[in-house]
A and B are shown apart, each in its own frame.
Chain A
Amino acid sequence: MSFLNSVVLLFAAAGAYGTALMFGTIGEILTEKSGNLNLGVEGIMYMGGIFGLIAPNMYEMAVGDSASPFVAIILAILASFAVGAIAGALFSFITVTLRANQNVTGLAMTTFGTGVAKFAGELRRMQVGGYVTLSNKMKFAFDKHFMPDFLKKIPVIGKILFDQSEFFYLAIIAAVLLHLFLTKTKTGLYLRSVGESPVTADAAGINITKYKYLATMIGGGISAIGGMVYTMTTAGCVWIEASLAGTGWLAVALVIFCTWRPINGTWSSVLFGALMIMYLRIIIKGFPIELYKILPYVVTIVVLVITSMKNIKDKQPPASLGLNYFREDR
């Protein structure tokens, strides 16, 4: 196997895990653009992971064999999005309305979210009396690589770009849409202004509270879809909580790594996915394989340090990230 070939195959394989990361990252970018640093992504992705499984599972159990995979996918997306949005609303309520510290609230959200997810998983398992999963028909639908074969066979890019599940493309579409939203629409511009300088946005008559709530809710929803994608594709429609652990934190790291840009978020998610499994593909003699897995975090720190050292204005976190705003406080 040539080196190039192994790299191509590595990135093609990284697409699967990268998809879950992509949703997590894109959602958190949207949240952070509003100035809310929601460190609860881990908890939110957990909840998305289980509720994205429970919804189609209940649907299938209710309808039986006639259940439509399409409806199941929509239900999974809706359920995970909804639970993420609720978590986002809760986060916003506590930090925006009640003005509690964002870091602490985010961490509490992680505790709470992972708790709810594990709890829901166990409860559902007890209800169905066995493990919670879907029929095979459904499983295939969730992890369908629907691109035609001739595309997959294009050298180098074919396997990376076209041999992926439908959620991969959905995530890329979401990233592009978010990019367009942030750069080309008025609402996106306003949202960024809320995250950069709430004083300015407020003075310009922008409803800070509304923007923060909506961005955090939609962002939470998108992140939660990432959890669902993980459960429904990589884990094969089975709830394996332990394997989801750390994905949300990786998404937080990715947001920094891609300097708050959704388009960068797509390829860097795949890159991070690749770093996580690189030890299986590209073996550097003498380099301990466990250390491969910390590369994403090391790289992230390097990016963080470099951008702060050079003080590159365009690559800084949103200026008010993590700070709460109270109009009369100024």
Chain B
Amino acid sequence: MQTNCAIELKNIRKTFGSVVANDEINLQINKGEILCLLGENGSGKTTLMNMLSGIYQPDSGEIYKEGSLVSIRSPRDAYALGIGMIHQHYHLVDVFTAAQNIILGMDDQKLDLSAVNDKVKEICDRYGFHVDPKKKVYDMSVSQKQTIEIVKVLYRGAEILILDEPTAVLTPQETDKLFAVLRNMKKDNKAIVLITHKLAEVLAVSDKVAILRKGKYIGIVETKDATAQSLTDMMVGRAVKLNINRPVYDNPHDKLVVNGLTVVDNEGVSRLDNVSFTAKAGEILGVAGIAGSGQRELLESITGLYPIKSGSIKFVNEDGSTNELVGKTPMQIRQAGVGMGFVPEDRLGMGLVGSMGMTSNMMLRSWRNGRSIFFNKKSPEALANKVWKNLEVVTPSTDFPVRRMSGGNIQKVLVGREIASRPPVLLTAYAVRGLDINTSYAIYNLLTDQKMSGSAVMYVGEELDVLLELCDRILVLCGGKVSGIVDARKTTKEEIGLLMTTVGGHEGGEQ
């Protein structure tokens, strides 16, 4: 099998600032094989592959192509080595035709579009695509765009194809078509790397599976020896006893009733499909699911930030009356007296202002208070000091730009602010991502405090151990649909892992 090796990565390490994205990774990619690179979001899969496609350079480590040491300084180098990557976000020029996009960056060739068309047709025939070379990209559907990306890579004779979550935006039928194409390529002795976290797909299409977790290489297995369960175990790690304190609130009652929520993104792809559930006061409702299954859209819909296609979101007031949130802007929701805290996934891009200090960031929730044209800096200042002290935020001062703080401290600032007003509903997305153990526990305790004070807390998380020990109930999303709502005290990690990765079969609806 050694002669079959197309690319070998040795001791690859890549850091961004103080974050270690890839830590001493070793990986071998073979010809005539489909390798799945499996891992949760943030496990470093895409970063690793970007180093193969020339977008990043490793800080240290070596890359060997068929046994010889190579340096990939740019995408051009990658192409020269026969490496082609299809990124999750397509690299296509909207105003160009398919053919124009396909030949972009090709050397030593005249611009002879009819010859291009012929060659495209030949590729399509060989692997079973359909492409209209004269169509402009802005007129294309998502899957058509993806096809162009793949043809583009094949066109320049790539021997090694890397696909970054190619099925995320495809319908099941389109996915099947894609897999047929990939199998054809395999037969053609190409090396294929599929970055994904959908277990069903992994099992359906791959020969081998390499697993990354938190930037570290966990191992590689033959698909035929693997099961969804074994892969899940490797991907999420073994169950760890965390000993999170989980008191029971004596009087849980409905706080947020979501019914038939459906949203569509601006590309026309359905992001949430008929989602229904109830969040109760005095309860932490966990939301599990592979990244990109609709978590972000769910929270943003509730807070009024995401346009809703259909469905209803009702907030239950203390007196039992309800407030319909659909159709309201965030400000209208607040003005309607609906207290809501939201810790978004993108801390600096959405929840905080990176260039400002703690005090100014505290103000993001209170800036409009009072009638004066001046903002009131006193209460945010006090809050900032409180958060600084209580949550042990490490910062030189409350005016120090939060962008320059460490991830954990940034999150403390954000969570500290969101819980400060004791909101009846608290939504959190990946609240402990990138945080050390102590900080994580501090956050868990804060959320539990909220719960015990009667808040309905929604906790979108990625670590199943935490979800199991922290939450009361867990809502599992899969591809924008609810694949199950389970009691956290009774379920197992394995059950959730399966619900997260289930496609087809028993998707959607309450179980």
Contact = CB atoms under 8 A, between A and B. Distances in A.
B91 interface: yes
B272 interface: no
Interface residues of B, number: 30
A261 interface: no
A222 to B, nearest CB: 22
Contact of A196 (B56, B95, B106): B95
B146 interface: no
B103 interface: yes
Interface string B49-72: 000011110000000000000000
A319 B137 CA distance: 14
Nearest to A195: B93
Interface stretch (A87-95, A197-205, A265-273): A197-205
Given A203-B53, A205-B74, A207-B76, A192 B138 contact: no
A319 B94 contact: yes
A285 interface: no
Interface string A164-205: 000000000000000000001110111011001101111111
Given A203-B53, A205-B76, A327-B55, A186 B94 contact: no
A218 B173 CA distance: 49
A184 B114 CA distance: 12
Given A193-B104, A203-B75, A186 B110 contact: yes
B87 interface: yes
A202 B138 CA distance: 20
A65 interface: no
B94 A313 contact: yes
A187 to B, nearest CB: 8
A205 B79 contact: yes
Interface string B87-115: 10001111110001101111001110000
Q: Is the interface of A mostly helix, strand, loop or mixed?
A: helix
A313 B55 contact: no
A199 B91 contact: yes
A86 interface: no
B87 A203 contact: yes
B104 A200 contact: yes
B91 A197 contact: yes
A197 B92 contact: yes
Given A186-B106, A202-B75, A203-B55, A193 B111 contact: no
B244 to A, nearest CB: 36
A104 B409 CA distance: 36
Contacts of B96: 189, 192-193, 196
A330 B89 CA distance: 11
B93 A186 contact: no
A197 B87 contact: no
Nearest to B16: A328
A206 interface: yes
Interface string A115-159: 000000000000000000000000000000000000000000000
Given A184-B111, A203-B53, A204-B104, 8 more contacts: A189-B104, A190-B104, A190-B105, A193-B96, A196-B96, A199-B91, A205-B74, A313-B136
Interface of B: 53-56, 74-79, 85, 87, 91-96, 100-101, 103-106, 109-111, 136, 138, 152
12 contacts: A185-B111, A188-B111, A189-B111, A190-B105, A192-B95, A193-B93, A193-B104, A199-B91, A201-B105, A203-B55, A204-B79, A204-B105
Return the 10 tightest CB-CB contacts between A and B, nearest first: A204-B105, A205-B76, A200-B91, A186-B111, A204-B104, A205-B105, A203-B91, A196-B93, A205-B75, A206-B105
Interface of A: 184-186, 188-190, 192-193, 196-197, 199-207, 313-314, 316, 319, 327-328, 330
